[in-house]
Structure 1
Protein backbone atom coordinates (compact mmCIF):
# COMPACT_ATOMS: atom_id res chain seq x y z
CA UNK A 1 0.00 0.00 0.00
CA UNK A 2 1.34 3.42 -0.88
CA UNK A 3 2.22 5.86 1.87
CA UNK A 4 -0.51 8.27 0.71
CA UNK A 5 -3.15 5.55 0.93
CA UNK A 6 -2.02 4.59 4.42
CA UNK A 7 -2.14 8.25 5.54
CA UNK A 8 -5.60 8.63 4.05
CA UNK A 9 -6.81 5.47 5.77
CA UNK A 10 -5.39 6.67 9.07
CA UNK A 11 -7.11 10.03 8.68
CA UNK A 12 -10.46 8.40 7.93
CA UNK A 13 -9.93 5.99 10.82
CA UNK A 14 -9.08 8.79 13.21
CA UNK A 15 -12.16 10.80 12.24
CA UNK A 16 -14.41 7.74 12.43
CA UNK A 17 -12.99 6.70 15.79
CA UNK A 18 -13.44 10.23 17.13
CA UNK A 19 -17.04 10.24 15.94
CA UNK A 20 -17.65 6.87 17.50
CA UNK A 21 -16.07 7.86 20.82
CA UNK A 22 -17.90 11.17 20.95
CA UNK A 23 -21.15 9.34 20.32
CA UNK A 24 -20.42 6.89 23.13
CA UNK A 25 -19.56 9.75 25.45
CA UNK A 26 -22.74 11.60 24.50
CA UNK A 27 -24.86 8.52 25.13
CA UNK A 28 -23.21 8.07 28.53
CA UNK A 29 -24.30 11.54 29.58
CA UNK A 30 -27.52 11.91 31.53
CA UNK A 31 -30.33 12.45 29.07
CA UNK A 32 -28.39 10.78 26.26
CA UNK A 33 -26.08 13.65 25.49
CA UNK A 34 -28.58 16.49 25.43
CA UNK A 35 -26.61 19.07 27.36
CA UNK A 36 -24.51 19.00 30.47
CA UNK A 37 -27.17 17.77 32.87
CA UNK A 38 -29.62 16.18 30.47
CA UNK A 39 -32.67 18.16 31.53
CA UNK A 40 -34.67 20.50 29.35
CA UNK A 41 -32.80 23.42 30.85
CA UNK A 42 -29.44 22.02 29.74
CA UNK A 43 -30.48 20.96 26.27
CA UNK A 44 -28.32 22.96 23.95
CA UNK A 45 -24.86 24.18 24.83
CA UNK A 46 -22.94 26.72 22.88
CA UNK A 47 -25.69 28.53 21.02
CA UNK A 48 -25.36 32.24 20.30
CA UNK A 49 -27.12 32.95 23.58
CA UNK A 50 -25.19 30.40 25.67
CA UNK A 51 -26.30 27.05 27.07
CA UNK A 52 -29.56 25.70 25.66
CA UNK A 53 -29.53 28.74 23.44
CA UNK A 54 -29.43 30.72 26.69
CA UNK A 55 -32.71 29.36 28.03
CA UNK A 56 -31.49 27.38 31.04
CA UNK A 57 -33.50 27.67 34.25
CA UNK A 58 -30.83 29.87 35.83
CA UNK A 59 -30.87 32.24 32.87
CA UNK A 60 -34.65 32.37 32.97
CA UNK A 61 -34.39 33.33 36.65
CA UNK A 62 -31.97 36.14 35.81
CA UNK A 63 -34.30 37.65 33.22
CA UNK A 64 -37.41 37.27 35.37
CA UNK A 65 -39.17 34.96 32.91
CA UNK A 66 -42.84 34.51 33.70
CA UNK A 67 -44.33 31.14 34.58
CA UNK A 68 -46.05 31.15 31.19
CA UNK A 69 -42.74 31.75 29.40
CA UNK A 70 -41.03 29.00 31.41
CA UNK A 71 -43.82 26.57 30.61
CA UNK A 72 -43.72 27.37 26.89
CA UNK A 73 -39.95 27.03 26.71
CA UNK A 74 -39.99 23.77 28.64
CA UNK A 75 -42.62 22.41 26.23
CA UNK A 76 -40.58 23.47 23.21
CA UNK A 77 -37.49 21.59 24.38
CA UNK A 78 -39.46 18.56 25.56
CA UNK A 79 -40.98 18.30 22.08
CA UNK A 80 -37.53 18.56 20.50
CA UNK A 81 -36.18 15.88 22.82
CA UNK A 82 -39.15 13.66 21.95
CA UNK A 83 -38.53 14.20 18.23
CA UNK A 84 -34.90 13.15 18.65
CA UNK A 85 -35.43 10.22 21.01
CA UNK A 86 -35.40 7.63 18.22
CA UNK A 87 -32.00 8.79 17.06
CA UNK A 88 -30.27 7.37 20.12
CA UNK A 89 -30.91 3.80 19.07
CA UNK A 90 -29.98 4.52 15.47
CA UNK A 91 -26.76 6.21 16.58
CA UNK A 92 -25.86 3.28 18.82
CA UNK A 93 -26.34 0.87 15.92
CA UNK A 94 -24.16 2.98 13.65
CA UNK A 95 -21.41 3.09 16.28
CA UNK A 96 -21.61 -0.69 16.71
CA UNK A 97 -21.32 -1.15 12.95
CA UNK A 98 -18.32 1.17 12.89
CA UNK A 99 -16.61 -0.74 15.68
CA UNK A 100 -17.21 -4.00 13.81
CA UNK A 101 -15.69 -2.55 10.64
CA UNK A 102 -12.55 -1.53 12.51
CA UNK A 103 -12.32 -4.95 14.16
CA UNK A 104 -12.59 -6.78 10.81
CA UNK A 105 -9.51 -8.48 9.39
CA UNK A 106 -9.64 -6.18 6.35
CA UNK A 107 -10.48 -2.50 6.63
CA UNK A 108 -13.30 -1.49 4.27
CA UNK A 109 -12.69 2.23 3.79
CA UNK A 110 -15.79 2.68 1.63
CA UNK A 111 -18.05 1.13 4.29
CA UNK A 112 -16.42 3.25 7.00
CA UNK A 113 -16.92 6.38 4.91
CA UNK A 114 -20.56 5.45 4.32
CA UNK A 115 -21.13 5.10 8.07
CA UNK A 116 -19.34 8.37 8.70
CA UNK A 117 -21.69 10.09 6.27
CA UNK A 118 -24.72 8.52 7.95
CA UNK A 119 -23.48 9.60 11.38
CA UNK A 120 -22.79 13.09 10.10
CA UNK A 121 -26.29 13.34 8.58
CA UNK A 122 -27.82 12.16 11.86
CA UNK A 123 -25.85 14.75 13.82
CA UNK A 124 -26.84 17.47 11.35
CA UNK A 125 -30.53 16.58 11.67
CA UNK A 126 -30.32 16.72 15.47
CA UNK A 127 -28.46 20.02 15.35
CA UNK A 128 -31.05 21.48 12.99
CA UNK A 129 -33.92 20.35 15.25
CA UNK A 130 -32.30 21.82 18.35
CA UNK A 131 -31.54 25.05 16.51
CA UNK A 132 -35.22 25.32 15.60
CA UNK A 133 -36.17 24.69 19.23
CA UNK A 134 -33.83 27.50 20.31
CA UNK A 135 -35.37 29.85 17.76
CA UNK A 136 -38.87 28.94 18.95
CA UNK A 137 -37.85 29.47 22.58
CA UNK A 138 -36.21 32.81 21.76
CA UNK A 139 -39.49 33.99 20.27
CA UNK A 140 -41.22 33.37 23.63
CA UNK A 141 -38.98 35.91 25.36
CA UNK A 142 -39.09 39.66 24.95
CA UNK A 143 -36.29 41.43 23.06
CA UNK A 144 -35.10 42.86 26.39
CA UNK A 145 -34.90 39.40 27.96
CA UNK A 146 -32.98 38.04 24.96
CA UNK A 147 -30.55 40.97 25.10
CA UNK A 148 -29.94 40.37 28.80
CA UNK A 149 -29.30 36.65 28.19
CA UNK A 150 -26.88 37.52 25.37
CA UNK A 151 -24.99 39.93 27.64
CA UNK A 152 -24.79 37.34 30.42
CA UNK A 153 -23.63 34.69 27.96
CA UNK A 154 -20.94 37.04 26.66
CA UNK A 155 -19.64 37.59 30.20
CA UNK A 156 -19.65 33.85 30.80
CA UNK A 157 -17.70 33.20 27.58
CA UNK A 158 -15.14 35.83 28.59
CA UNK A 159 -14.69 34.14 31.99
CA UNK A 160 -14.28 30.75 30.33
CA UNK A 161 -11.71 32.15 27.89
CA UNK A 162 -9.83 33.74 30.77
CA UNK A 163 -9.74 30.42 32.66
CA UNK A 164 -8.57 28.62 29.55
CA UNK A 165 -5.79 31.17 29.12
CA UNK A 166 -4.72 30.74 32.75
CA UNK A 167 -4.38 26.97 32.23
CA UNK A 168 -1.97 27.43 29.35
Structure 2
Protein backbone atom coordinates (compact mmCIF):
# COMPACT_ATOMS: atom_id res chain seq x y z
CA UNK A 1 0.00 0.00 0.00
CA UNK A 2 2.82 2.40 0.84
CA UNK A 3 4.49 1.79 -2.53
CA UNK A 4 1.19 2.60 -4.26
CA UNK A 5 0.85 5.84 -2.29
CA UNK A 6 4.43 6.78 -3.12
CA UNK A 7 3.84 6.11 -6.83
CA UNK A 8 0.72 8.28 -6.76
CA UNK A 9 2.66 11.03 -5.00
CA UNK A 10 5.36 10.82 -7.69
CA UNK A 11 2.73 11.01 -10.42
CA UNK A 12 1.06 14.05 -8.91
CA UNK A 13 4.46 15.67 -8.39
CA UNK A 14 5.42 15.01 -12.00
CA UNK A 15 2.18 16.54 -13.23
CA UNK A 16 2.59 19.55 -10.98
CA UNK A 17 6.16 20.02 -12.21
CA UNK A 18 5.06 19.65 -15.83
CA UNK A 19 2.27 22.18 -15.39
CA UNK A 20 4.55 24.50 -13.47
CA UNK A 21 7.22 24.47 -16.14
CA UNK A 22 4.71 25.05 -18.86
CA UNK A 23 2.95 27.71 -16.86
CA UNK A 24 6.14 29.61 -16.12
CA UNK A 25 7.05 29.56 -19.78
CA UNK A 26 3.50 30.47 -20.77
CA UNK A 27 3.47 33.52 -18.49
CA UNK A 28 5.65 35.37 -20.98
CA UNK A 29 3.43 34.50 -23.95
CA UNK A 30 1.39 37.38 -25.35
CA UNK A 31 -2.38 37.18 -24.98
CA UNK A 32 -4.20 35.22 -27.66
CA UNK A 33 -1.29 33.09 -28.87
CA UNK A 34 -0.91 29.36 -28.73
CA UNK A 35 -2.86 26.24 -29.42
CA UNK A 36 -6.61 26.83 -29.67
CA UNK A 37 -5.92 30.52 -29.11
CA UNK A 38 -5.86 30.17 -25.35
CA UNK A 39 -3.61 32.52 -23.43
CA UNK A 40 -1.86 29.73 -21.53
CA UNK A 41 -1.70 27.32 -24.43
CA UNK A 42 1.78 28.08 -25.71
CA UNK A 43 4.79 27.43 -23.58
CA UNK A 44 7.87 28.90 -25.29
CA UNK A 45 11.02 27.02 -24.47
CA UNK A 46 9.29 23.69 -24.16
CA UNK A 47 9.19 22.57 -20.56
CA UNK A 48 7.86 19.06 -20.27
CA UNK A 49 5.10 19.73 -22.78
CA UNK A 50 7.42 20.27 -25.71
CA UNK A 51 6.16 23.80 -26.05
CA UNK A 52 2.40 23.29 -25.93
CA UNK A 53 0.24 22.87 -22.87
CA UNK A 54 -2.66 22.72 -25.32
CA UNK A 55 -1.13 19.62 -26.88
CA UNK A 56 -1.05 17.88 -23.51
CA UNK A 57 -4.66 18.85 -22.93
CA UNK A 58 -5.40 17.29 -26.33
CA UNK A 59 -3.56 14.10 -25.29
CA UNK A 60 -5.78 13.74 -22.23
CA UNK A 61 -8.95 14.75 -24.10
CA UNK A 62 -9.54 17.70 -21.79
CA UNK A 63 -13.03 19.12 -22.05
CA UNK A 64 -13.66 22.66 -23.19
CA UNK A 65 -14.64 23.47 -19.61
CA UNK A 66 -11.31 22.12 -18.30
CA UNK A 67 -9.39 24.06 -20.94
CA UNK A 68 -11.26 27.23 -20.07
CA UNK A 69 -10.60 26.78 -16.34
CA UNK A 70 -6.89 26.08 -16.88
CA UNK A 71 -6.54 29.05 -19.23
CA UNK A 72 -8.22 31.26 -16.61
CA UNK A 73 -5.90 29.96 -13.87
CA UNK A 74 -2.74 30.75 -15.82
CA UNK A 75 -4.15 34.05 -17.10
CA UNK A 76 -4.74 35.15 -13.51
CA UNK A 77 -1.23 34.08 -12.55
CA UNK A 78 0.26 35.98 -15.49
CA UNK A 79 -1.73 39.07 -14.49
CA UNK A 80 -0.48 38.74 -10.92
CA UNK A 81 3.09 38.60 -12.22
CA UNK A 82 2.81 41.22 -14.97
CA UNK A 83 4.27 43.98 -12.80
CA UNK A 84 7.28 41.83 -12.06
CA UNK A 85 8.43 41.92 -15.68
CA UNK A 86 9.02 45.66 -15.54
CA UNK A 87 10.62 45.42 -12.10
CA UNK A 88 12.83 42.60 -13.35
CA UNK A 89 13.92 44.63 -16.35
CA UNK A 90 14.87 47.50 -14.03
CA UNK A 91 16.92 45.13 -11.86
CA UNK A 92 18.74 43.85 -14.95
CA UNK A 93 19.47 47.46 -15.97
CA UNK A 94 20.77 48.19 -12.46
CA UNK A 95 23.01 45.16 -12.60
CA UNK A 96 24.37 46.15 -16.01
CA UNK A 97 25.06 49.66 -14.72
CA UNK A 98 26.86 48.27 -11.67
CA UNK A 99 29.06 46.03 -13.81
CA UNK A 100 29.95 48.86 -16.20
CA UNK A 101 30.66 51.43 -13.49
CA UNK A 102 34.25 52.66 -13.11
CA UNK A 103 34.44 50.93 -9.72
CA UNK A 104 32.81 47.55 -9.08
CA UNK A 105 30.62 47.67 -5.97
CA UNK A 106 30.36 44.04 -4.90
CA UNK A 107 27.88 44.80 -2.10
CA UNK A 108 25.52 46.61 -4.49
CA UNK A 109 25.77 43.79 -7.03
CA UNK A 110 24.98 41.27 -4.31
CA UNK A 111 21.98 43.34 -3.15
CA UNK A 112 20.54 43.41 -6.69
CA UNK A 113 21.22 39.69 -7.07
CA UNK A 114 19.28 39.02 -3.89
CA UNK A 115 16.38 41.18 -5.10
CA UNK A 116 16.35 39.23 -8.37
CA UNK A 117 16.39 35.95 -6.46
CA UNK A 118 13.47 37.06 -4.29
CA UNK A 119 11.54 38.09 -7.39
CA UNK A 120 12.19 34.74 -9.08
CA UNK A 121 11.13 32.91 -5.92
CA UNK A 122 7.87 34.87 -5.75
CA UNK A 123 7.13 34.13 -9.41
CA UNK A 124 7.97 30.46 -8.96
CA UNK A 125 5.69 30.24 -5.92
CA UNK A 126 2.81 31.91 -7.78
CA UNK A 127 3.19 29.67 -10.83
CA UNK A 128 3.49 26.61 -8.61
CA UNK A 129 0.16 27.51 -7.02
CA UNK A 130 -1.35 28.01 -10.48
CA UNK A 131 -0.03 24.58 -11.49
CA UNK A 132 -1.58 22.98 -8.43
CA UNK A 133 -4.88 24.68 -9.20
CA UNK A 134 -4.68 23.53 -12.84
CA UNK A 135 -3.84 19.97 -11.81
CA UNK A 136 -6.94 19.92 -9.61
CA UNK A 137 -9.07 20.68 -12.68
CA UNK A 138 -7.91 17.44 -14.33
CA UNK A 139 -9.02 13.98 -13.32
CA UNK A 140 -6.56 11.57 -11.69
CA UNK A 141 -6.55 9.58 -14.94
CA UNK A 142 -5.69 12.68 -16.97
CA UNK A 143 -2.88 13.60 -14.57
CA UNK A 144 -1.52 10.05 -14.78
CA UNK A 145 -1.58 10.23 -18.59
CA UNK A 146 0.33 13.53 -18.55
CA UNK A 147 2.87 12.02 -16.16
CA UNK A 148 3.26 9.02 -18.47
CA UNK A 149 3.81 11.20 -21.55
CA UNK A 150 6.23 13.44 -19.64
CA UNK A 151 8.16 10.39 -18.42
CA UNK A 152 8.48 9.02 -21.96
CA UNK A 153 9.61 12.41 -23.26
CA UNK A 154 12.14 12.73 -20.45
CA UNK A 155 13.52 9.27 -21.28
CA UNK A 156 13.84 10.23 -24.98
CA UNK A 157 15.64 13.44 -24.07
CA UNK A 158 18.01 11.56 -21.74
CA UNK A 159 18.74 9.08 -24.52
CA UNK A 160 19.72 11.91 -26.87
CA UNK A 161 22.07 13.37 -24.27
CA UNK A 162 24.01 10.15 -23.77
CA UNK A 163 27.50 10.27 -25.19
CA UNK A 164 27.79 8.04 -28.22
The TM-score range, normalised by the shorter chain, is: 0.7 to 0.9
How has the CA–CA distance of structure 1 residues 110 and 93 changed in structure 2, closer, same or farther, with 3 Å as cutoff?
same
Instruction: Write out per-residue CA displacement over residues 30-66 of structure 1, whole angstroms, 9 at most, x where no aligned residue.
Output: 96479xx8851245964xxx349x9811111111111
The alpha carbon displacement at 1:139 in A equals: 0.1
Q: 1:131 aligns with which of 117, 122, 128?
A: 128
Structure 2, unaligned runs of 5 or more? 1-24
Q: 2:82 aligns with which of 81, 85, 110?
A: 85
Q: 1:118 aligns with which of 110, 115, 120?
A: 115
Structure 1, unaligned runs of 5 or more? 1-28
Select the structure of larger CA radius of gyration.
1
* TM-score normalized by the length of structure 1: 0.71
Distance 2:125 2:27 in 1: 18
* TM-score normalized by the length of structure 2: 0.72
The count of corresponding residues between Structure 1 and Structure 2 is: 133
Q: Is the 8 A contact 1:55 1:137 kept in 2?
A: no
Q: Is the 8 A contact 2:98 2:109 kept in 1?
A: yes
The alpha carbon displacement at 1:165 in A equals: 1.6
Instruction: Write out per-residue CA displacement over residues 59-106 of structure 1, whole angstroms, 9 at most, x where no aligned residue.
Output: 111111111001000100011111111111000000000001011111
**Runs ≥4 residues deviating over 3 A:** 29-34, 42-46
Instruction: Write out per-residue CA displacement over residues 12-46 of structure 1, whole angstroms, 9 at most, x where no aligned residue.
Output: xxxxxxxxxxxxxxxxx996479xx8851245964
Pairing 1:1-168 to 2, within 5 Å after superposition:
32=28, 39-43=39-43, 46=47, 50-51=48-49, 56-165=53-162
